[in-house]
Structure 1
Amino acid sequence: MGDWKSKKEVVPFTAMAAVEFSIVGLHILYKSAILKGLTFFVFITYSYSFGTLLLLPHTLFFSRRLPSLKWSVLYKVFLLSLIGYVARVCSYKGLEYSSPALNSSVSTLGPAFTFILAVVFRMEFVDLERTPTQAKIIGTVVSVLGALVAVLYKGPTLVSSQPGPVVVAVPSHSLDLHKQFSNWALGGFLLAAECLLNSFASILQAHILKIYPAELMVAFMYCLGVTIITVPVSFMVKRELNDWTLRPDITLITVIYSTFLGPAFIISVHSYCLSSKGPLYTSIFKPFSIFIAAVASFILLGDGLHLGSVLGSTILLLGFYAVLWGKANEKKINDSECGNLGASSSGKKTALLQSHIDQNYVQ
Structure 2
Amino acid sequence: MRKEMIGLPIVGMVMAEVAQVGLMIMGKAAMSHGMPNFVFVFYSNALASLILLPASFLFHRSHRPPLTFSILCWFFLLGLLGCFAQISGYAGIYYSSPTLATAMLNLIPGLTFILAVAFRMETLNLRSSTSQAKSLGTIVSIAGAFIVTFYKGPSLLMAPSHSSSPHLLLGQQSNWVIGGFLLAADCVFASAWLIVQASVLKKFPAELFVVFYYCFFVTLQSGIICLIMGGDLSAWSFKPDVRLVAVIYSAVFGSAFQLGVSTWCMHRTGPVFVSMFKPLGIVVSVVIGVIFLGDTFFLGSLVGAIVIVTGFYSVMWGKAKEGKLDVQTQGMMSESSSQKVALLSNNTGEP
Whether these two folds match at TM > 0.5 is yes
CA 1:13–1:131 in 2, change beyond 3 Å: closer, same or farther? closer
Does 2:145 match 1:114? no
Match of 2:278 in 1: 286
Does 2:205 match 1:213? yes
Match of 1:167 in 2: 165
Deviation at 1:48, TM superposition (A): 0.8
Match of 1:54 in 2: 51
Q: Deviations over 1:135-193 (max 9, x none)?
A: 222223323333333334344544332437623379xxxxxx99743322332343343
- The amino acid of 1:27's aligned partner reads M
Deviation at 1:46, TM superposition (A): 0.7
Q: Distance in 1 between matches of 2:254 and 2:162?
A: 37
CA 1:104–1:39 in 2, change beyond 3 Å: closer, same or farther? same
Match of 1:263 in 2: 255
Deviation at 1:290, TM superposition (A): 2.6
| 1:1-363 correspondence runs (5 A) | 12-59=9-56, 65-163=63-161, 166-168=164-166, 180-346=172-338
SS in 2 for 1:345: helix
Tell whether the 8 Å contact from 1:155 to 1:308 is kept in structure 2 after alignment.
yes
- The amino acid of 1:199's aligned partner reads S
Tell whether the 8 Å contact from 1:16 to 1:269 is kept in structure 2 after alignment.
yes
Q: Distance in 2 between matches of 1:225 and 1:80?
A: 8
Q: Distance in 2 between matches of 1:178 and 1:13?
A: 33
Tell whether the 8 Å contact from 2:103 to 2:145 is kept in structure 1 after alignment.
yes
Tell whether the 8 Å contact from 1:108 to 1:320 is kept in structure 2 after alignment.
no
Give the RMSD, CA atoms, in angstroms.
Answer: 3.1
Deviation at 1:41, TM superposition (A): 1.8
Q: Distance in 1 between matches of 2:15 and 2:160?
A: 30
Deviation at 1:218, TM superposition (A): 0.8
SS in 1 for 2:191: helix
Q: Distance in 1 between matches of 2:190 and 2:163?
A: 40
Q: Deviations over 1:7-34 (max 9, x none)?
A: 7666545443332222111211222232
- The amino acid of 2:44's aligned partner reads S
Tell whether the 8 Å contact from 1:132 to 1:326 is kept in structure 2 after alignment.
yes
Deviation at 1:5, TM superposition (A): 8.0
Q: Distance in 2 between matches of 1:290 and 1:60?
A: 35
Q: Distance in 2 between matches of 1:78 and 1:142?
A: 34
Of residues 18-27 and 333-342 in structure 1, the stretch that sits farther from structure 2 once superposed is 333-342
SS in 2 for 1:262: helix
Q: Distance in 2 between matches of 1:103 and 1:111?
A: 14
- The amino acid of 1:125's aligned partner reads T
- Seq. identity, %: 40
Q: Distance in 1 between matches of 2:322 and 2:10?
A: 22
Tell whether the 8 Å contact from 1:152 to 1:185 is kept in structure 2 after alignment.
no
CA 1:164–1:95 in 2, change beyond 3 Å: closer, same or farther? closer
